[in-house]
Amino acid sequence: GLIEKLAQIDVPERARKMRAQQIWHWLYVRGAKQFDQMTSISKDLHTTLDAYFTLDRPEIVAEQISVDGTRKWLLQLPGEHEGERPHQVECVYIPETDRGTLCVSSQVGCTLNCSFCHTGTQRLVRNLTPGEIVGQIMIARDRLDDCIAAKDVPSDSPRLVSNIVMMGMGEPLYNFEAVR
């Protein structure tokens, strides 16, 4: 997907795979929040990327931290269409001694009416995009300081987020393509 996007902004074909790998590393290993943090790519490419893309995360409306370290974020997403009001979803991090589980939402609301789930009492507003789903993960990693931002941190350091489950708002199989 990154290679296709780079082709759309006229990155030379011979450089696309390398640039995609660099950008991927900066986004998902180092947690870059701005293109100009990506020191292994040119300033001209920073400018081009800034003109066409964003690295914005969802807005944190509220954060609750339990005594056991569990964290719950209420996140605000822009409306899907111009003029549409923002939507809110939840994302929860559950730390354990041997792992850290992140519960991620896949929809705003839900069509199912499961007796054990509060989300089922809310009407389905819309499916989340892949970017909105990944944005939840990036918010958690940012807030937990779970990215390798410093060069002196080994890339094989254990991560706080070790498991991701689709147990936030929505039924993930009803939004399979975005979840996949």
* Cα angle: 54, vertex 142, 155; to 5 degrees: 100
Question: In terms of residues, how long is the chain?
Answer: 180
* Mean pLDDT of all residues in 43-52: 95
Q: Is the pLDDT of residue 38 over 60?
A: yes
- Please tell me the predicted confidence (pLDDT) of residue 149: 64
Q: What is d(CA 47, CA 52) in angstroms, rounded to the nearest whole number?
A: 9
For the chain, give the percent of residues with pLDDT over 90.
71
Helices (H), the chain: 2-8, 13-28, 43-52, 130-143, 176-179
Using DSSP, state whether 88 is helix, strand or coil. strand
The per-residue pLDDT for 84 is 79
Would the pLDDT of 155 be above 70? no
Separation between Cα atoms, residue 144 and residue 162, nearest integer Å: 12
Tokens describing residue 141:
């990693």
Tokens of 87: 């939507």
CA distance 89 to 20: 30
**pLDDT score recorded for residue 152:** 55
Give mean pLDDT, residues 153-167.
79
Give the mean pLDDT of 2-23. Answer: 96
Report pTM.
0.86
pLDDT in tens, 108-139: 988 777 777 776 667 888 999 999 999 999 99
pLDDT at 120: 64
